[in-house]
Amino acid sequence: MRSFSYSRADSVDQALLGIAANGHGPAGTAAAVRFIAGGTNLLDLMKADVLRPSALVDINPLPLARIEDGPDGGLRLGALVTNADTAYDDRVQARYPLVSRAILAGASPQLRNMASNGGNLLQRTRCYYFYDTATPCNKRTPGSGCAALTGVNRIHAILGASEHCIAVHPSDFCVALAALDAVVQVRGSDGERSIPFADVHRLPGDTPHIDTCLNADEIITAIDLPRQGFARHFTYLKARDRTSYAFALVSAAVGLEIEAGTVRTARVALGGVAHKPWRDPAAEALLVGKPPTAETFAAVADVLLQGARGYGHNDFKIELARRVVVRALRDAAEREPS
């Protein structure tokens, strides 16, 4: 059994002090002090001996569990609002149905009732080898190798991977947030900062043990959704092995603004294919100023999947992703608000 200290923080300042007092290490290391909210991923990682924090700081008492009006006509999702409360919030369902659909496509009702919005962003990959401490894994133990490269890699990345790691980010919520250009608010010992969603998660490169750009002494306080919610033409399409309680093999979050049969604004983000939600502005630009046609959708998929490669078991994902993109765009273009 591994021992660790446990404390509860009543304010963000107290939580940051708790981190500082316990001597946090760099992000991704096994010995660092950790914040705990829902614990739906952290406790699994501790039970599997993948993470061995010396201290847990319970942040559930912090006043970050509200959904309120955000800057510039948007909506601010508190970091401690549960995924379930976010998905079923009237304002989210009416103005950001893409967010609601993406959340409800993930996990199980029990997990969504516990998981926090901030924690969803920080969950770790579901690569089998990351959770198996008997195998080499650069993300778990930097420099040890990557068992997935030559192992069973059916669920692994086809875009943005490196020779050091081919893991994917598992979140559905994050794919919708990427498509919406959400902004993540964080606070740390050096003050507050706003991080565009595209910059929150990293590609693995030669440091796959670092998942995000957050410093170890920073805490997520909120996620800001911009005014444009694409509530009229949107879809979240998820291809997976089972119809519930399964991570995406490939998913697509699409938001379109269409006026008089012409696309004015387009967003397309892919999940299940890379170490972070995958977007390409060049692909989205192909749609703008044109009618939404099957030919354009196919061209968008070609650009999004430029450079895609498989590692054996996951080769099928390239064609699957192409089909998911085309169908998601078609569904979004045809969708009318219900």
Of 40, 82, 120, 125, the residue at the interface with ligand SF4 (CB under 6 A) is: 125
Over 133-186, what HEC string results?
A: CCCCECCCCCCCCEHHHCCCCCCCCCCCCECCECCCCCCCHHHHHHHCCCEEEE
Question: Rounded to the nearest whole angstrom, what is the least distance from the CB of residue 94 to ligand SF4 in the complex?
Answer: 38
Question: Rounded to the nearest whole angstrom, what is the least distance from the CB of residue 166 to ligand SF4 in the complex?
Answer: 5
Question: Rounded to the nearest whole angstrom, what is the least distance from the CB of residue 129 to ligand SF4 in the complex?
Answer: 3
Pick the piece of the chain touching ligand SF4 (CB under 6 A) from 78-86, 94-102, 132-140, 170-178: 132-140
37 binds ligand SF4, rule: CB under 6 A = no
Of 77, 166, 223, 239, the residue at the interface with ligand SF4 (CB under 6 A) is: 166
The residues facing 222 across adjacent strands are 78, 185
Of 84, 98, 167, 321, the residue at the interface with ligand SF4 (CB under 6 A) is: 167
Q: From the CB of residue 189, how many other CB atoms can be counted at a distance below 10 Å? A: 12
- If the CB atoms of residues 147 and 180 are measured against ligand SF4, the closer one turns out to be 147
45 binds ligand SF4, rule: CB under 6 A = no
146 binds ligand SF4, rule: CB under 6 A = yes
247 binds ligand SF4, rule: CB under 6 A = no
Pick the piece of the chain touching ligand SF4 (CB under 6 A) from 26-34, 133-141, 212-220, 293-301: 133-141
50 binds ligand SF4, rule: CB under 6 A = no
Question: Rounded to the nearest whole angstrom, what is the least distance from the CB of residue 84 to ligand SF4 in the complex?
Answer: 28
Pick the piece of the chain touching ligand SF4 (CB under 6 A) from 43-51, 127-135, 223-231, 235-243: 127-135
274 binds ligand SF4, rule: CB under 6 A = no
158 binds ligand SF4, rule: CB under 6 A = no
Q: Which residues lie near ligand SF4 (CB under 6 A)?
A: 125, 127, 129-130, 137-139, 146-148, 165-167, 208
